[in-house]
Amino acid sequence: MHNLIVMKGKFETLIDQDTPVLVDFYADWCGPCQMMAPVLKEVADEMGGKVKIIKIDVDKNQPIAQRFGVRSIPTLILFKKGKILENKAGVMTKRDLTQMIERAS
């Protein structure tokens, strides 16, 4: 899975980039989150260098989830240069995700 990484390192460094960064707040036990995984992989594969996709397990990273007001999962937040561009809760289609990323590019 290239362009699809699991949370490592400093979060601020990851989101403070010129390239849009899509953060997937998820949990392993979450059914809808599991449905999003192949969609996110397809988007990462097809969009290549246009976006970085980061997965954050809310159970292991509660302070970050709380900081961004994540109350339900999956929650997808799109960042660019450290700023939130879009924040969507729930399952999204590949088309909706692609359009969200294109708007940020």
pLDDT one-digit tens code per residue, 24-48: 999 999 999 999 999 999 999 999 8
Question: Which of the following is catalytic: 7, 27, 30, 91?
Answer: 30
Catalytic site residue 49? no
Q: What is the pLDDT of residues 60-75, one digit of tens each?
A: 999 999 999 999 999 9
CATH number of 4-104: 3.40.30.10
Catalytic site residue 90? no
pLDDT of residue 4: 45
Question: Which of the following is catalytic: 4, 15, 22, 33?
Answer: 33
pTM: predicted TM-score of the whole model, two decimal places: 0.88
Q: Write a three-state SS string for the chain.
A: CCCEEECCCCHHHHHCCCCCEEEEEECCCCHHHHHHHHHHHHHHHHHHHHCEEEEEECCCCHHHHHHCCCCCCCEEEEEECCEEEEEEECCCCHHHHHHHHHHHC
In the chain, domain spans: 4-104
